[in-house]
A and B are shown apart, each in its own frame.
Chain A
Amino acid sequence: MVQKEAWGSRVGLILAMAGNAVGLGNFLRFPVQAINNGGGSFIIPYLVCFLLMGIPLLWIEWSVGRFGGKSGHHSTPFILDKMDKRRIWKYIGVFGIFTNLGVAAYYCYIESWTLSYLIHSLVGSFDNLTQLEVANFFKHYTNMDKSTFGIPYESVVIYILCLALNTYILSRGLKGVEKAAKIGMPLLIIFGIILAVKGLTLGSSGASAEFPDANAFDGLNFLWTVNFDSIWDFKVWFAAAGQIFFTLSVGMGTIQCYASYVKSKDDIALNGLSAGFMNEFVEIVLGSLIVIPIAAGYLGLDWVKENAGFSMAFKTMPFLFEKWGPVLSNLSGFMWFGLLFFAGITSSLAMGTPWMGFMQDEYKWGRKKSALSFGLIILIIGLPTVLFYNYGVFDEYDYWAGTASLVVFAMLEVILFSWVFGIKKGWAEINEGADLKVPKIYKYIIWFVTPIMLIFVFLGSLFNPKNGDFKAAFISLKNNNGWPFDDGSIISQINMTSYKNALKNAVSAEDIEKAEKTINYVLFSRFLLIGLFLIISFLVYRAYIKNRKKHDLSTINSVK
């Protein structure tokens, strides 16, 4: 007996959907992007991109999901297949499963750091450590050269523990995911508000002899002072579009999967908007008031500008919390890593559902079997990110599964929705059962503006010039010096430019050995990712053949 999955409540669905979008990037990527793109100058392009690209993409993915759910499909290969009969779409839909598995493999590792740091904060592992010692703590943890808990291979053990927790919750089905979101999201917001109040009221009280000019307000002034000159900089717009894209978790296949469990008469317009705004609240209101002001309050704005990066959360924050006294530091560490953990687990659970939906729909697997297979796949492809973290495997997964695939899939999906499926049908889908009157202008935005913006984002990712400076790149091209690709562009990544440069510039035998090993591990990780994509494509092909045979048989029977 197979029980149909359904959401337990509308609030549960919204919290699960918001939990899917709210991730580590809200607290870490957003402030870093803002700092690197002129502070306040970043805000206006960011908000424009949210209105012209973010909201339309949310509505498209929600309606695509609900449309697929009507015919009993909960994963993108067969949802896209329902939208247009050309065979290619079901293989483009493979991205909607591949991306989730590829991202979950390394995302669960970051999640396990937050779990480990949460426990370390509670037991006082960071008490009286200097900034360097806190930074080294992270190094030892990821190098696995010194166990911080006394457990051998601590990072592997906690990674597996984290994965087991995800697998267990997923095996409980949508109800498990919903329960985790109902507990995790409110706690995340409460912890975030407490830390944001601290960031907002810190002022210059954190200045020390080493950093006499440190002031939290300098961080806030930089983040919120709009410099109109930089608004015309293409690089800032490109960064803003990228941030909107990644923060809303669009182009992954998870929104479609969650939305496929609602009925055709259920609203999606208000649901999508509500989940999107909840993500923006966590990012713009809470995310901007924690890391940057607290770090600027103790270390000064110049230090923050020089060191702004993802690792600040683990290498710097525990040291800064120590300044708040023994009890408050442990509590703050618990809240900070607790909110990151909740942000992480609500997202990683979402990443498990498209695979489970696919196996349940097309291969009639049960919930437990599907969840277990998800855990096993993530263990196999995820362990290399843990074991060879310092050899580029983690970054490769992040780039191909967590960045490039998203852009490609979202661009193709929007083209399918607006131009192949047709804007008329698409617009009707968005408005069906809507509890909100969707402004008509959005019909034209979805039709023209969003596809064009996504094509620009894709071309930008492909040909991104050195330091994002398009003007200098065109001058270089005009002078017959060729296009100077940035190391982060897709073309440079395919050519492994940065890894080859590292090998070319290596002098000592040790550096040469590390650079050579990195290239080998990077090739190995690409082999794993390509293999994963091919295996999913094969499973889609097999399911398609099976469905076609079933369909042919039923047609023959009905003719008889």
Chain B
Amino acid sequence: MQTNALITMLVVQITVTFFTIRFFYTILKKPDVKGDSYVEDEIKNDD
């Protein structure tokens, strides 16, 4: 593979992968807490 193409590919792909992992990791390490939409006890019945 040509050097300039390889460098472009690596720079773009590593940058995208880095930010994907970084953002997703930030979400993973922050637990869902009471008061968020995501916790079961917040689901109420309408009647």
On A, residues with C-beta under 8 Å from B are: 1-4, 6-14, 40, 43, 47, 217, 220-221, 223-226, 261-263, 265-266, 270-271, 273-274, 277-278, 280-281, 284-285, 288, 435-436
Q: A1-B46, A217-B1, A270-B23 are in contact. Are A284 and B8 (CB under 8 A)?
A: no
On B, residues with C-beta under 8 Å from A are: 1-2, 4-6, 8-9, 12-13, 16-17, 19-20, 23-24, 26-28, 30, 32, 35-38, 40, 42-47
Shortest distance between the CB of A45 and any CB in chain B (Å): 13
Closest 9 CB pairs of A and B: A274-B23, A224-B5, A224-B9, A281-B20, A2-B46, A277-B20, A217-B1, A225-B5, A221-B5
Selected from B13, B36, B38, B43, the residue in CB contact (under 8 A) with A3 is: B43
Secondary structure call for the A interface: helix
Q: A224-B6, A285-B13 are in contact. Are A274 and B42 (CB under 8 A)?
A: no
Interface centre among B6, B32, B47 (most CB of A within 10 A): B32
Shortest distance between the CB of A388 and any CB in chain B (Å): 40
Shortest distance between the CB of A2 and any CB in chain B (Å): 4
Q: A40-B5, A435-B30, A436-B26 are in contact. List 9 more A-B contacts (CB 8 A).
A: A3-B46, A8-B40, A14-B27, A265-B36, A271-B27, A277-B23, A278-B24, A280-B20, A281-B17
Contact, CB under 8 Å: A263 / B37: yes
Residues of chain B within 8 A of A271, CB atoms compared = 27
With both beta carbons as reference points, the residue of chain B lying nearest to A279 in the complex is identified as B20
Contact, CB under 8 Å: B46 / A43: no
Selected from B8, B23, B35, B37, the residue in CB contact (under 8 A) with A273 is: B23
Residues of chain A within 8 A of B16, CB atoms compared = 277, 280-281, 284-285
Contact, CB under 8 Å: B8 / A40: yes
Residues of chain A within 8 A of B46, CB atoms compared = 1-4
Selected from B9, B27, B44, the residue in CB contact (under 8 A) with A4 is: B44
Residues of chain A within 8 A of B9, CB atoms compared = 220, 223-224, 288
Residues of chain A within 8 A of B27, CB atoms compared = 10-11, 14, 270-271, 274, 435
Q: A1-B46, A225-B5, A278-B20 are in contact. Are A6 and B38 (CB under 8 A)?
A: yes
Shortest distance between the CB of B3 and any CB in chain A (Å): 10
